[in-house]
Structure 1
Amino acid sequence: MRFPIVLLFNPETNDYKVTVPDMPGCSCRAKTMDIALNEIIAVIESHLSLLAEYSEDIPNASSFENHVSKMEFRGGVWAVVDIDITPFLGKSHKINVTLPELLIKKIDECVSSNPNYATRSGFLATAAINELKNS
C-alpha cells in the first residue's frame, strides 16, 4: 500500500520531521531526507505491528489532496512510501476457492508477468485488499 508522507524541515534543530498523515502519531526525526525516508519505513512497520498485535485495522492510504492543504503540513516536501501490509494482516489460512477456468488462466498470466505477485494467492490477497479499501 502506498502511503503519502510529508517531510518538514526545522531550521531551529536543523533536522526533518517525517509524518504519515494517515497514521496519527506515526512520525520520526532525522538529519537528512535520505535518512528520514529510511527511518519512516521502519517506524511505519513498527506502527503496523502494534496495530496487528491489538487486532486493529490497518488505515487506508489516502491521496495527497486529502492532506496537502492542512496548515501543519504547509511548506513540506511530499513523497510516497510503498509498504507491503500482508505481514501485518495475521496468520495465513488455507481456503478452497472456486473460480472459472478463464479467470484462473488470466490470473496466472498476470502473476507470471508481474513480479509484484509471487503467487496466485498473493494476487488474490492484493485484489481482496484493494476491493476492501474501495468499499
Structure 2
Amino acid sequence: MNDYIAIIHQDGESDFGVSFPDFPGCVTAGRTLDEARTMAEEALALHVDGLLEEKVTLPAPSSLETVMTDRNYRDGVAILVASPRRAPRAVRVNVTIAADELAEIDAYAARHGLTRSGFLAAAARRKLDEPA
C-alpha cells in the first residue's frame, strides 16, 4: 500500500479543497479540515478503484520535494493519504495434510465459525507476522 500526497488549500472563506498531484482530476472538498481529510481518503479510494478496474498502472507516489516545485501547491498544506487496500484475489491451492490433522482443523474451524480456508489463511498470516 502506498501513501500519496494530497494538497489541502483554501481560498478566502471557501471550503477546504483537496487535490492529488499524482492523480490529476482527483479532487474533493470539505467544510472543515477534518472533513477534507476524510473526503480525501474517499476520493482517492474511488479514483484508484476506477483506475484499477480499467487496468491502469498506478503511478509511484511523488516525493514532497517534487510536488512542492509546482507553484500551484506551495500555498497548500501537504498531507499523506493511504491508497486503499484492495481485497486480494483468492487462488485455489492443493495441499497435503494428514487426515487426523485435517479433521482437527475442520473441527476447530467449525467451532469458531470459520471455513477451512479461512482458518488456514489466518494461521498462516499469524505465523508470517511473527518475527523471524
TM superposition score normalised by structure 2? 0.65
Cα distance between partner residues in 2 of 1:95 and 1:57: 27
In the TM superposition, what is the alpha-carbon distance from 1:3 to its structure 2 partner? 0.7
Task: In structure 1, list runs of 5 or more residues that go unmatched.
Answer: 97-107, 114-135
Counterpart position of 2:89: 91
Contact 2:45 2:84 in 1 (8 A): no
Query: 1:109 and 1:23, CA in 2 relative to 1: closer, same or farther beyond 3 A?
Result: same
Give the CA deviation at 1:86: 3.5
Partner of 1:5: 6
| Corresponding pairs, count | 100
Query: Residue in 1 aligned with 2:70?
Result: 70
Q: What is the aligned-residue RMSD (CA, Å)?
A: 2.4
Aligned to 1:43: 43
What TM-score, normalized by structure 1, do the two folds share? Answer: 0.63
Cα displacement string for residues 28-85 of structure 1 (whole angstroms, at most 9, x for unaligned residues): 0111111000001111110111112111112211211111121111211111112243
Distance 1:109 1:41 in 2: 31
Indicate the residue corresponding to 2:82 in structure 1. 82
In the other structure, the counterpart of 1:30 is 30
Q: Give the greater-gyration-radius structure (CA).
A: 2
1:9-35 Cα shifts (integer Å, max 9, x gaps): 111x52111011111111101111110
Amino acid paired to 1:8: H
- Tell me the distance in 1 between the aligned counterparts of 2:92 and 2:5: 33
Please report how far the alpha carbon of residue 110 of structure 1 lies from its aligned counterpart in structure 2 after TM superposition. Answer: 6.5
Query: SS state of the match for residue 10, structure 1?
Result: coil
Find the aligned partners of 2:43 and 2:28 in 1 and give their Cα distance. Answer: 7
- How far apart, in 2, do the equivalents of 1:95 and 1:23 lie? 37
Indicate the SS of the match to 1:66: helix
| Alpha-carbon offset, residue 109 of structure 1 | 6.9
